Amino acid sequence: MRINKPKLILLDLDGTLIDTVPDLAYCIDATLISMGRLPPGEAKIRTWIGNGIERLLQRALTGSMDAEPPAADLAYANAKFVELYTIYNGINSVLYPGVLAGITTLRQHNYKLACITNKRELFTIPLLIKLELHDYFELIVSGDTCAKKKPDPMPLMYAMSQCNVTAAE
């Protein structure tokens, strides 16, 4: 059985290519301190990662995986976090071992790469530039590129459309 070479490889960003938790944790801790709360620290924040920044903020504010904080607290925390993360995004984030070698090899073998992330473009593009990954991607789809985010297939379908490939490719 012959397997065709893919025409496009889609890659996630946070937790796949880059460990962004140090910067996220710093900003979450600073946000909570600004609210007169104790910072949970990086180790705890690491256990809350997944499902986007709003869910991470909810978890930090409540100390629970699925509790809802007061709307006013969440609104303040979100604004403060965005203010801080705009400054600290990419400062202590690092590529996972083997990422640069892996994507370099893929590009050398003429694979098209697209980055698909739920991170807002405001944070995605500067992070990729700071860590010198931006130019490896044919396309970058951020969390605010499409009307829906992953796990909805819309961002993946958008990437395939923009790169003129089918799901089989």
Active site residues: 12
Report the distance separating Cα 103 and Cα 124, nearest Å: 17
Determine how β-strand 8-11 pairs with β-strand 139-141.
unpaired
DSSP letter at 131 equals T
Q: Give dist(CA 39, CA 35) in Å, integer.
A: 10
Read off the tokens for 8: 């496009």
**Closest Cα partner for 122 from 68, 82, 163?**
82
Contact 32, 39 (CB under 8 A): yes
CA angle 127, 88, 130 (to 5 degrees): 25
